[in-house]
Chains A and B, each alone.
Chain A
């Protein structure tokens, strides 16, 4: 049963000249163009405009979907509450990301060095990558207590650690044959090989993992709030606004969470592009 996930990992080292990993890899700073900014802005503006017109023109109930202008009003009115919520949820997501990133990278380094550990980890990694991590929230709350943030941080960390682990492991195996042979020809020590070739090769992959995990961290921290815990975060705020039928406010909180997720994504994306700037173009 674990074959599905394990083949993804092991097939990559079996066929050595495995090119790029499947998702958005190989991005570069120089790929960012003006059209890459203008086109999505145009699409976004058209979308918001159409939405506003539809709500106004068709008289759609805010219960179904509130107008962007109504959401904006709430955004402005409740901005300090929204920012507070972003801080609470964002802090959990950030701590989870740091913790999960650390666990993922260290785990991958160990797995890449000790084949046995790699194979022992396969079913656990497979299970964690297909299970909704937030489903663990209730049991984590009984373990750590729902009143404190530990459970929510652990949820975010678990969600982050898997993509970081898989991508780092892949990166650690990307060392090209020429570089490996060069190091051998230089009679470099294993530590030197790791420092000069393996780690620099893997670094962009680590950040690819972190980028994939970034919005996941925010969403996981946020959804975990639905399973209990004190008021304060965005997740709780969305539910309580919706249950008091203040839909524009609920949407304003949703907007806050999108902004938060986007901020995490963009920061990790920029870091990734920075580290990948000299990677050979694939």
Chain B
């Protein structure tokens, strides 16, 4: 308990230290930054425009988001957008996890599937998703059955899933393959089939690998949602807000930081929620040491 408290205090101290460094640089750093050659800045400009005071960033959160009368504070606007992005990311995460686990199972079951697919799964993550985002939207526009129409929201969630499935597939595969040969052979001598072996041995053994993968997937889903919102042009979420608020940076430099804080919050909430799942699956962690 005392350790927790200490860790929390030190963590807060770390954040304060970064903020202090920021403002120290701003106070003593060169107005026009540090140049290399003609025009390449290697240290930033220390002007109010380029680097608003940290307290300005915080204060800005509590001022109205826009000049309109009755506009909500920036904090409220950011929270709204965060909730929206979080809900999309959650859907993307769920789809990604299901797909990732299915792929991991497939690759565990068939060696040839692993050999043939794993490189492509790795390759899939080198595709800049911002390039495929508009494409997904266009594909989605073709889909329509009954009362269901494909919204841009779904495209964003799909792209989130595209990032989220990767750690799950790879981590799941490693986990499912983690039981020692002796354990697998033991199951074989019991005359137990592949599915029973999966349920009694491989799945529990994969938990220690799956949990960090699920957490990574949550962070990836958030990142995917934010970036996809930008490139698809979906309004209402944090991604779009980053771009919009950055445009007003000329007159209101602190405002651009509000959605960034929001993005951090969304990511932490997502990862934290998956962390709670970890607690529920804690008993299976034992498999790690039994091996």
Question: Do chains A and B directly touch (beta carbons under 8 Å) in the complex?
Answer: yes
Question: Are A123 and B11 touching (Cβ within 8 A)?
Answer: yes
With A17-B289, A147-B39 as given contacts, are A64 and B139 in contact (CB-CB < 8 Å)? yes
Question: Are B126 and A261 touching (Cβ within 8 A)?
Answer: yes
Question: Are B174 and A254 touching (Cβ within 8 A)?
Answer: no
A262 to B119, CA, bound (A): 10
B179 within 8 Å of A (CB atoms): no
Identify which of A71-79, A177-185, A195-203, A218-226 touches chain B. Answer: A218-226
B165 within 8 Å of A (CB atoms): no
Question: Are A119 and B267 touching (Cβ within 8 A)?
Answer: no
With A123-B15, A143-B45 as given contacts, are A64 and B138 in contact (CB-CB < 8 Å)? yes
Select which of B44, B130, B142, B239 is within 8 A of A143 by beta carbon: B44
B236 within 8 Å of A (CB atoms): no
Question: Are B215 and A8 touching (Cβ within 8 A)?
Answer: yes
User: Which residues of B in the span 1-53 have a Cβ within 8 Å of any Cβ on A?
Assistant: 6-7, 10-15, 17-18, 33, 39-42, 44-45, 49-51
A24 to B121, CA, bound (A): 12
User: Which residues of A in the span 63-116 have a Cβ within 8 Å of any Cβ on B?
Assistant: 63-65, 116
Q: Mark A113-154, 1 if CB is under 8 A from B, else 0.
A: 000100111111011011110111011001111011110000
Identify which of B94-102, B185-193, B195-203, B253-261 touches chain A. Answer: B253-261
A4 to B269, CA, bound (A): 9
Identify which of A39-47, A49-57, A186-194, A270-278 touches chain B. Answer: A39-47
Among B6, B219, B270, B291, max chain A CB count under 10 A is at: B219
Select which of A121, A132, A149, A226 is within 8 A of B226 by beta carbon: A132
- Residues in chain B near residue A148, CB distance under 8 A: 39-41
A265 within 8 Å of B (CB atoms): yes
- Residues in chain B near residue A23, CB distance under 8 A: 167, 170-171, 174, 213
Among A22, A42, A121, A149, max chain B CB count under 10 A is at: A22
A42 to B175, CA, bound (A): 26
Select which of A129, A218, A235 is within 8 A of B219 by beta carbon: A129
- Residues in chain A near residue B215, CB distance under 8 A: 4-5, 8
Q: Specify the main secondary structure of chain B where it touches its partner.
A: helix
Select which of A116, A123, A135 is within 8 A of B242 by beta carbon: A135
A58 within 8 Å of B (CB atoms): no
Question: Are A119 and B10 touching (Cβ within 8 A)?
Answer: yes
B158 within 8 Å of A (CB atoms): no
- Residues in chain B near residue A223, CB distance under 8 A: 128, 130, 227
With A119-B11, A131-B267, A227-B243 as given contacts, are A138 and B51 in contact (CB-CB < 8 Å)? no
Query: What residue of chain B has the Cβ atom nearest to residue A43's Cβ?
Result: B116
B88 within 8 Å of A (CB atoms): no
B212 within 8 Å of A (CB atoms): yes
Chain B: minimal CB distance from A67 (Å): 14
A214 to B246, CA, bound (A): 28
Chain A: minimal CB distance from B181 (Å): 12
A161 within 8 Å of B (CB atoms): no
A226 to B123, CA, bound (A): 22
Select which of B13, B209, B227, B269 is within 8 A of A120 by beta carbon: B13
Q: Mark B277-288, 1 if CB is under 8 A from A, else 0.
A: 010000000001
Question: Are B128 and A150 touching (Cβ within 8 A)?
Answer: no
Question: Are B272 and A4 touching (Cβ within 8 A)?
Answer: yes
Question: Are B270 and A130 touching (Cβ within 8 A)?
Answer: yes
Chain B: minimal CB distance from A163 (Å): 10
With A39-B116, A142-B256 as given contacts, are A132 and B222 in contact (CB-CB < 8 Å)? yes
With A7-B275, A64-B138 as given contacts, are A215 and B126 in contact (CB-CB < 8 Å)? yes
With A1-B272, A123-B11, A131-B263 as given contacts, are A218 and B126 in contact (CB-CB < 8 Å)? yes
With A64-B138, A138-B243 as given contacts, are A19 and B115 in contact (CB-CB < 8 Å)? no
With A127-B264, A130-B268 as given contacts, are A122 and B11 in contact (CB-CB < 8 Å)? yes
B62 within 8 Å of A (CB atoms): no
A6 within 8 Å of B (CB atoms): yes
A2 within 8 Å of B (CB atoms): yes
Question: Which B residues are closer than 8 A to A by beta carbons?
Answer: 6-7, 10-15, 17-18, 33, 39-42, 44-45, 49-51, 112, 115-120, 122-123, 125-132, 134-135, 138-139, 142, 167, 170-171, 174-175, 209, 212-213, 215, 218-219, 222-223, 226-227, 230-231, 238-239, 242-243, 246, 249, 253, 256-257, 259-260, 263-275, 278, 288-289, 291
Q: What are the 6 A-B residue pairs with the smallest beta carbon separation, nearest first?
A: A130-B267, A120-B14, A261-B126, A138-B246, A4-B271, A4-B275
Question: Which A residues are closer than 8 A to B by beta carbons?
Answer: 1-8, 15, 17-20, 22-25, 35-36, 39-40, 42-44, 47, 63-65, 116, 119-124, 126-127, 129-132, 134-136, 138-139, 142-145, 147-150, 215, 218-219, 222-223, 226-227, 234-235, 238, 242, 250, 253-254, 257-258, 261-262, 265
- Give 6 CB contacts A-B under 8 Å: A39-B115, A138-B246, A145-B39, A218-B128, A258-B126, A261-B126
